[in-house]
Amino acid sequence: AATPESKIVSTSGAIEVDALIIGAGFSGLYQLLSLRDKLNLSVQVIEVADEVGGTWYWNRYPGARCDSESHSYQYYFSDELVKEWEWTQRYPDHAEIRQYLGHVAKKFDLKANIKFKTRVTAAKYHEASNRWHITTDAGDTYVAKYFITAVGCLSSANIPKIAGLESFGGEWYHTGQWPHEGVDFTGKRVGIIGTGSTGIQAIPVIAEQAGHLTVFQRTANYSIPSRNAPLTDQFKQFAKEKISDIRHVMHTNTNGHAFRMVPRSAIATPEAERRAIMEKAWEKGGLEFRACFDDILINKDSNDTMAEFVCEKIRAIVRDPAKAEVLADIDHPFATKRPPVDTHYFETYNRDNVSIVNLRKTPIDSITPKGIKIGDQEYELDIIVFATGFDAMTGPLLNINITGKNNTALKDVWSTGPSNYLGLQVPGFPNMFTITGPGSPSVLCNMPVAIEQHVDWITHCIADMQANGLQKIEATAKAANDWVQEVNVAANATLLPQAKHSWYLGANVPGKPRVFMPYAGGMANYRKICDDVAKNSYTGFQRT
């Protein structure tokens, strides 16, 4: 394999490599391994953190763990790797996932090709040489034939611009930039803004330590108990013996998880039977709850049955009817925002030291030196936690000054929302690939499955170019336009766009274009589309 030493430093001081990858999370690590060890290319990864891990490097907030089940939240490209890694819990926490990715990096000697503590600030395509010039905050310039972004969909923290934040006398943190040494909440007056998956994970854990916790909720949310537990020996054995079967299920269903949707309609199931099914799934816990029926996201009547079931559960768990009302006042169909899974989330509101403020009634006015001001009331706080999510999917890409052919900036091409072909390539940006880019299923899936599919497709595409002496691949404008239509059609065939306050639509970031970003047509369907494109000599791409 090509080693870092095989990089060439040109007379201009630029470092020449075959491929430059940004990011050392699940995506970047596997892309590096594939290009370096399968295709023998010289590859450089640039990563702003000082370690591998991506999401799991940054998100160390209390309660941070994944909600994909451990046996599915890992790479499946190597049976040996699956067999040798032992998960301890049904849902691993951030530290365990970091250890896993650290193990992968060590096993395949990946760190040799990663430059840490370095941010890519700009990437510019030079047409005459057909090379990307990529510059970093360390002052380096890399010249690469292939430029691959593995920057993540959820890596650009969304810190709302609330007037007065800079005047706050206490401490404040965003969950996606959590201090590695942790935060001591003991006896403190803590406010948390946000009740998405992150807030719902963090609230029960912070409540156990804080003197008082005030939850500032803008959009009430459904949540399903995770029922997290240590894995039994029997399950561990099952997961290792059935690697092929598990992989097959994940590769042939809509969402990349290791379970299938049960092919039955909620609304067509008699009420008593439907209820019994939902009760059983609620007891089992986890994302599989929504797979009890296969029409939840396409039939509003079916969806209503699940939405009502969860709201009934909220009212039954939360003893204070006023709190229960705020929590169950949900404005979108079930699972049209990513449904969180939790550990004692609704139960936490039965604690005397936890209160909830409904921001839909009165929004935050400002942050003062003492706390958060809403209307006439000032909530005095020692610590504010922003569980306010991310500038998702487009944010991490637009943070980099990317310029394609004719000096065209990506931010201009995407000024009214992202457009590309298959979520993989933007016309005018040859030889640039976006792993899990907008327009791909990515965030609607168990992501390692979506990531492996993209990396394998890109690797195969580059291998084919190398084998055929091709220099350049570029999506055509027509293919991208058609794909954007396809992404819209797929979203509109579901209830997903009905969640108006959703980051899938960019609604959480003021001023962001309202475009449904991920491809909702299903992972298996998408995989087939991509495979067919490759088989048909890369239809929709121009290759020279």
- Asked if 25 interacts with ligand FAD (CB under 6 A), we say yes
195 binds, among ligand FAD, ligand N01, none (CB under 5 to 8 A by kind): ligand N01
Q: Which is nearer to ligand N01, 114 or 154 (CB)?
A: 154
- Asked if 441 interacts with ligand FAD (CB under 6 A), we say no
25 binds, among ligand N01, ligand FAD, none (CB under 5 to 8 A by kind): ligand FAD
191: which strand partners?
214, 384
With CB under 6 A as the contact rule, the residue among 113, 118, 299, 388 that binds ligand N01 is 388
134 binds, among ligand FAD, ligand N01, none (CB under 5 to 8 A by kind): none
- Asked if 508 interacts with ligand N01 (CB under 6 A), we say yes
- Asked if 447 interacts with ligand FAD (CB under 6 A), we say yes
Between CA 448 and CA 442 the distance in angstroms is 9
Map 406-446 to HEC letters. HHCEHHHHCCCCCCCECCCECCCCCCEEECCCCCCCHHHCC
- In degrees and rounded to multiples of 5, residue 235 shows phi and psi of -65, -40
Between CA 451 and CA 531 the distance in angstroms is 15
Map 72-87 to HEC letters. CCCCCCCHHHHHHCCC
Q: Maximum CA pair distance of the chain?
A: 76
Q: Which is nearer to ligand FAD, 299 or 446 (CB)?
A: 446
Between CA 493 and CA 122 the distance in angstroms is 37
Q: Which is nearer to ligand N01, 26 or 503 (CB)?
A: 503
503 binds, among ligand FAD, ligand N01, none (CB under 5 to 8 A by kind): ligand N01
147: which strand partners?
20, 432
Q: Which is nearer to ligand N01, 167 or 177 (CB)?
A: 177
Hey, what amino acid is at 244?
A: S
How many chain residues touch ligand N01 (CB under 6 A)? 25
With CB under 6 A as the contact rule, the residue among 15, 23, 346, 487 that binds ligand FAD is 23
Q: Which is nearer to ligand N01, 192 or 465 (CB)?
A: 192
With CB under 6 A as the contact rule, the residue among 72, 197, 336, 403 that binds ligand N01 is 197
Between CA 470 and CA 489 the distance in angstroms is 34
With CB under 6 A as the contact rule, the residue among 37, 99, 119, 160 that binds ligand N01 is 160
Site string for ligand N01, 216-245 (x = CB under 6 A): --xx--------------------------
Site string for ligand N01, 346-365 (x = CB under 6 A): -------------x----x-
Between CA 332 and CA 303 the distance in angstroms is 10
With CB under 6 A as the contact rule, the residue among 63, 199, 340, 396 that binds ligand FAD is 396
Contact in structure between 342 and 226 (CB atoms under 8 Å):
yes
> Kindly report the CA angle at 381 between 375 and 383, in degrees rounded to 5?
125
- Asked if 154 interacts with ligand FAD (CB under 6 A), we say yes
Q: Which residues of 439-460 are buried (b: 16+ CB within 10 A; e: fewer)?
A: bbbbbbbbbbbbbbbbbbbbbb
Between CA 539 and CA 421 the distance in angstroms is 11
With CB under 6 A as the contact rule, the residue among 34, 72, 118, 198 that binds ligand N01 is 198
Please enumerate in sequence order all residues whose Cβ is within 8 A of that of 119, keeping only pairs 6 or more positions apart, or say none: 46, 48, 136, 137
CB 32 to ligand FAD: min, Å: 11
- Asked if 387 interacts with ligand N01 (CB under 6 A), we say yes
CB 364 to ligand N01: min, Å: 6
- In degrees and rounded to multiples of 5, residue 76 shows phi and psi of -120, 15
Residues found near ligand N01 in the complex (CB under 6 A): 66-67, 154, 160, 193-199, 201, 218-219, 338, 359, 364, 387-390, 443, 501, 503, 508
Residues found near ligand FAD in the complex (CB under 6 A): 22-28, 46-49, 54-55, 57, 59, 64, 66-68, 73, 119-120, 150-152, 154-155, 198, 396, 399-400, 436, 446-447, 451
